[in-house]
Amino acid sequence: MSSDTAPPHVVEDLFGVVQLLSDGSVIRGDESAIMPASPFPDVPGVQWKDVVYDATRGLKARVYRPESSAGAGDDDARKLPVLVYFHGGGYCIREYDQPPFHSCCQRFAADLPAVVLNVQYRRAPEHCLPAAVEDAATVATFIRVSLPKIIGDRSIMSGDATPTPAPDGVEDFFGVVRLLSDGSVLRGDESILMPVGPFPDIPGVQWKDAVYDAARGLRVRLYRPSSPVASAGGGGEGNTKLPVLVYFHGGGYCIGAYDQPMFHSICQRFASELPAVVLSVSYRLAPEHRLPAAIDDAATFFSWLRAQAVGAEPWLTETADFSRTFVSGVSAGANLAHHAVVQIAAGEIALAPAVRVAGYVFFSAFFGSVERTATETGSPACASTTAAIDQLWRMVLPVGATRDHPLANPFGPYSSGMEALPLPPALVVVPGLDTLRGHMYRYAARLEEMGKAVELAEFAGDQHGFSVRQWGEANEELVRILKRFVHQGPGAAPNRGEAKRVVARGGGVLLCTDMLNLALPDAPDGCCLAVVRAPAGMLMGNGGHALVLQLGPPWHRFVMCSPG
């Protein structure tokens, strides 16, 4: 793909080992050229193992201890001091597990003797200071909370120290995420909150992982059809390149991962059935990384994507039509998609001319506000779900922020207006049994009021996140709607056999008056044609009519709105 963007140039070059480019990216070379060549033998009589002290960042520490205890007296014979060791390298090079540091820590453990904790930390220039200092604070919490469980009672931090009281639990999200009073986080097994599937692999789809942020270890999973597929539209006659669907997974910004089976399976389906090149993006999770960390990661990802569009990733340049890029997400991923699209529209994330966002899609969007919607308080079950959602917001938003923070409420009192932004067309998918559906209705209605292109698809019998929970009729219909949106553009009318549930142009919600039902000759039982007169502001903002084609049960409807 042609581009007017000049390639980045080298700004700093540390002996060819670390190169900082003008666009902020970093290229790393072989460090052995500036490493000491001396032998660094293993030291006998020392045990060691690696442990993860920050799962979100993937940071590790190597723990060393003598195979047998030796102490000054009987009372101390089984306990050793702890030596925390941070490797060198000017904050830019070297790693905790390299031979010089590994050998040195073995000797300390054997000769002092002591329990030695050799700590990995984030390096510059990918992570400028104080990132490494923050990692040191995290490892201090790890030592207090988790290290005694790992090494038993064979160590002490200080022989005379008064034990620090164990931190209290501040938030406990079903035992899966526990936020403690000292800011540390304990994570449990997410599987108890995940649907059981099955989530089968989809034949005819290739996929692979790529790193888009090496410093943070963030990855994107790339999917594409195994065989060349002609584009279904939008790229010109004979176009064999496919639209790009960027997908952010869900999990309330606290749980979930791009490679979990339910997200992996749906992305395979999108790649196969749309068809499209699908990019499933990982991002940092709260409460270890409160917002806007995930939104910053999305910005980093789109900068990476722009670089791929000019030829860095052959898999993409061979297959992807970057002029038809769509941004999507489920639950918190939809919230993330909103903020990414707004930043792109505002020029805060530069993509042109290599990449063009042609639309964005919400599946069960995760928004909030201080003022409750009717769907959040409609029943005791709604109240229980709302309480869990409130807990997520407390762990996700900046400390002390309310649900009217712009990251939760895009139309709240502190949010910037979007009227002047050139937002691409939006497709808002709303499960009709979702406690958060009131926020989704409001989002679509506000876009319509601003004159933005928006479609709303309501799946009246389905729950939050139905798109990834279990495959069924609703999911098949969802793919047909998404395919139409991606390949034909917003507002394209479906074929008769595809008109199911609610698809409303202009953000319309079926709260209307003066309905007139007309019989359809030779139509199946339960089908009808209705002309709906809506009050001002309900469908078009100025009032108007809607033509409603209803197929089968009452929740199978296709709505077309027109003014006047």
Concatenated DSSP letters for 513-540? EEEEEE--TTPPTT-EEEEEEE-TTTSS
- Nearest one of 556, 547, 546 to 501, comparing CA atoms: 556
Instruction: Answer whether residue 232 is part of any domain.
Output: yes
C-beta of residue 302 within 8 angstroms of C-beta of residue 344 = yes
Same domain, residue pair 249 and 139: no
In a domain, 551, yes or no: no
The CA radius of gyration of the chain, in Å to the nearest whole number, is 27
Asked if 223 contacts 278 with a C-beta cutoff of 8 angstroms, the reply is yes
Q: Which amino acid is at 442?
A: R
| CA 17 from centroid of its chain's CA atoms | 32
pLDDT attached to residue 231: 56
Are both 267 and 329 inside the same structural domain?
yes
Query: From the centroid of its chain, how far is CA 139?
Result: 25
Between vectors from CA 128 to CA 123 and to CA 131, what angle results, nearest 5°?
75
C-alpha separations of 410 from 287, 295, 414, 440 in Å: 21, 14, 9, 11
Residue 321 located in a structural domain: yes
Residues 243 and 101 in one domain: no
Listed residues 382, 404, 424: the one ending a domain: 424
Cα separation, 493 vs 521, in Å, equals 21
**Separation of alpha carbons 393 and 72, rounded Å:** 52
pLDDT on residue 492: 52
| The amino acid at 414 | Y
Residue 396 in any domain: the answer is yes
Domain with 290, as residue range(s), is 205-424
d(CA 233, CA 238): 9
Query: What is the residue whose two structure tokens read 């390639």?
Result: 7
Q: For residues 454 and 495, what is the distance between their CA atoms, to the nearest angstrom?
A: 20
Residue 2 lies in a domain: no
Is residue 176 classed exposed, middle or buried when 0-12, 13-18 and 19+ CB atoms within 10 A define those classes? middle
Among 94, 125, 156, the domain boundary falls at 156
Structure confidence at residue 546 (pLDDT):
41
CA-to-CA separations, 282 to 46, 251, 274, 329, 349, in angstroms, rounded: 38, 12, 22, 12, 18
Q: Both 269 and 386 in a single domain?
A: yes
Query: What is the distance between the alpha carbons of residues 134 and 376, in angstroms, rounded to a whole number?
Result: 38
- 537 occurs within a structural domain: no
CATH code: domain of residue 127: 3.40.50.1820
323 and 418 housed in the same domain? yes
Tell me whether residue 129 is exposed, middle or buried, using C-beta atoms within 10 angstroms of its C-beta: 0 to 12, 13 to 18, 19 or more. Answer: exposed
DSSP characters over 223-273: EEESS-----SSS-TT---EEEEEEE--STTTS--TTSHHHHHHHHHHHHH
Digit-by-digit pLDDT tens for the chain (564 residues) are 333 445 668 889 888 878 887 877 777 777 777 878 778 888 888 887 777 788 667 788 889 989 875 444 444 456 899 999 999 999 998 889 888 998 899 999 899 999 999 999 999 888 888 889 988 988 888 887 777 666 654 444 333 344 456 567 789 999 999 999 888 888 888 989 999 888 999 999 999 999 999 889 999 999 999 987 755 555 555 568 999 999 999 999 999 999 999 999 999 999 999 999 999 999 999 999 999 999 999 999 999 999 999 877 888 988 999 999 999 999 999 999 999 999 999 999 999 999 999 999 999 999 999 999 999 987 788 888 999 999 999 999 999 999 999 999 999 999 999 999 999 999 999 999 999 999 999 999 999 999 999 999 999 999 999 999 988 999 999 999 999 999 987 655 433 233 333 443 333 333 332 223 333 333 333 333 333 333 333 333 333 334 444 333 333 333 333 333
Q: Is residue 526 part of a domain?
A: no
SS3 for 160-221 is: CCCCCCCCCEEEEECCCEEEECCCCEEECCHHHHCCCCCCCCCCCEEEEEEEEECCCCEEEE
Residue 484 phi, psi dihedral angles, 5° rounding: -60, -40
Same domain, 228 and 368: yes
Residues 100, 233, single domain; the answer is: no
Q: Are 76 and 113 in contact (CB under 8 A)?
A: no
How many structural domains does the chain have? Answer: 2
231 and 147 in a common domain: no
**Which are the catalytic amino acids?**
331, 434, 464
State the maximum Cα–Cα separation within the chain, in Å, rounded to a whole number.
98
Tally of CB atoms within 10 A around 118: 25
DSSP, res 312: I
Last residue of a domain, one of 400, 424, 448: 424
Examine the domain organization and report whether 262 and 383 are in the same domain: yes
Residue 334 lies in a domain: yes
**CB distance 67 to 100 below 8 Å:** no
Same domain, 142 and 216: no
For Cα atoms 250, 269, 239, give the angle at the middle one, nearest 5 degrees. Answer: 115
**How many C-beta atoms surround the C-beta of residue 12 within 10 A?**
11
> Are 225 and 344 in a shared domain?
yes
Do residues 414 and 336 both lie within one domain?
yes
